[in-house]
Amino acid sequence: MSAKIIDGKAISAIVNQENADEINKLKAMGITPGLAVILVGEDPASQLYVNSKVKKCQELGINSQKYVLDKNATMEELLELIDKLNNDNSIHGILVQSPPPPQIDEEKVVEAILPSKDVDCFHAENVGKMLIGKEDGFFPCTPYGVMILLEKSGIEVSGKHAVIIGRSNIVGKPMMALMVQKNKNANATVTCVHSATRNLKEIVKTADIVIAAIGKAEFVTADMIKEGAVVIDVGINRVADENAPKGYRVVGDVKYDEVAEVASYITPVPGGVGPMTIAILMRNTINSCKRHNKID
């Protein structure tokens, strides 16, 4: 068996066309969605992520505002900026690129952002709404991006056993919440495995759908996958490669070449989940704009 590739670039292009159509409708009413992105310090990876978000905003016609604070910026300076953006009616989404420098308390940062502008879905209010299935908050960008990938690839989730590898607040936990919801595109039976799980390999092998989000390069191997399973790779890792132009290559949490011989569907890294994360961020910003302007 050779797995079908779930093309995140192609599917995100469909989502972004839908985004563009919504933005054009809003602009016809004289309304422009606005997203503010804050970066503390100049970490190269964080800069890359922030620039990719800003670029997509520009392509779609979203008003993007990028703020870069010094790496030694204080909590007070950051909170003052967040407060200013909370009160700016032209801004509908605020995100602070993670991870920040050690002097920044990330939990306090999340709490400071208005839930109505928390387009990353990190605030406890939005997380709680997601957990109980309410749709008037936001869904987190990467997990919801995975749900859209599955839906638009025609992969049945209802009644399937999904195993999520990893329990982070950003991916693993919200992924569980979305997969288990009572709706036509979810309804999965969900197991979460992590660093303290016994017999992890055996549990993963029972899965119809595997979602790898553990942050370990090529952790998932072919002997962990049931034949015909769907494999979604959320991981992004750099591994040294002297033959690569930059001295490294980017791989996921799944050993792609060998797992692709066992799975029925698989996402590549890069080009799988990553583009969907940004597409959903754009969608959340648009939805926030519509709510702030009381547009159905």
Asked if residue 217 is part of any domain, the answer here is yes
Specify the pLDDT at position 243.
87
Query: Both 246 and 145 in a single domain?
Result: yes
Annotation marks residue 97 as catalytic: yes
Asked if residue 126 is part of any domain, the answer here is no
Query: Both 168 and 54 in a single domain?
Result: no
- Catalytic residue, from 56, 97, 117, 160: name it: 97
User: What does each of the 296 residues of the chain score in pLDDT, given as a tens digit?
Assistant: 699 999 999 999 999 999 999 999 999 999 999 999 999 998 888 888 899 999 999 999 999 999 999 999 999 999 999 999 999 999 999 999 988 999 999 999 999 999 999 999 999 999 999 999 999 999 999 999 999 999 999 999 999 999 999 999 999 999 999 999 999 999 999 999 999 999 999 999 999 999 999 999 999 999 999 999 999 999 999 898 888 888 899 999 999 999 999 999 999 999 999 999 999 999 999 999 999 999 98
- Catalytic residue, from 56, 118, 120, 129: name it: 120
Query: Both 44 and 149 in a single domain?
Result: no
Query: Both 238 and 191 in a single domain?
Result: yes
Question: b/e per residue, 163-198, with b = 16+ CB within 10 A?
Answer: bbbbbeebbbbbbbbbbebeeebbebebbbbeeeee
Query: Both 182 and 102 in a single domain?
Result: no
- Catalytic residue, from 53, 56, 117, 160: name it: 53
Asked if residue 4 is part of any domain, the answer here is no
Total structural domains in the chain? 2
Annotation marks residue 208 as catalytic: no
Give the structural domain span for 209.
Answer: 141-274
Query: Both 218 and 148 in a single domain?
Result: yes
Specify the pLDDT at position 1.
62
CB-side exposure of 108: number of CA atoms within 13 Å?
13
Asked if residue 19 is part of any domain, the answer here is no
Asked if residue 44 is part of any domain, the answer here is yes
Query: Both 110 and 148 in a single domain?
Result: no
Query: Both 201 and 250 in a single domain?
Result: yes
Asked if residue 290 is part of any domain, the answer here is no
Q: Which CATH number do you get for residue 49? A: 3.40.50.10860
Query: Both 222 and 154 in a single domain?
Result: yes
Annotation marks residue 58 as catalytic: no
Specify the pLDDT at position 46.
86
Asked if residue 228 is part of any domain, the answer here is yes
Asked if residue 90 is part of any domain, the answer here is yes
Query: Both 180 and 223 in a single domain?
Result: yes
Q: Which CATH number do you get for residue 186? A: 3.40.50.720
Query: Both 154 and 76 in a single domain?
Result: no
Query: Both 93 and 180 in a single domain?
Result: no
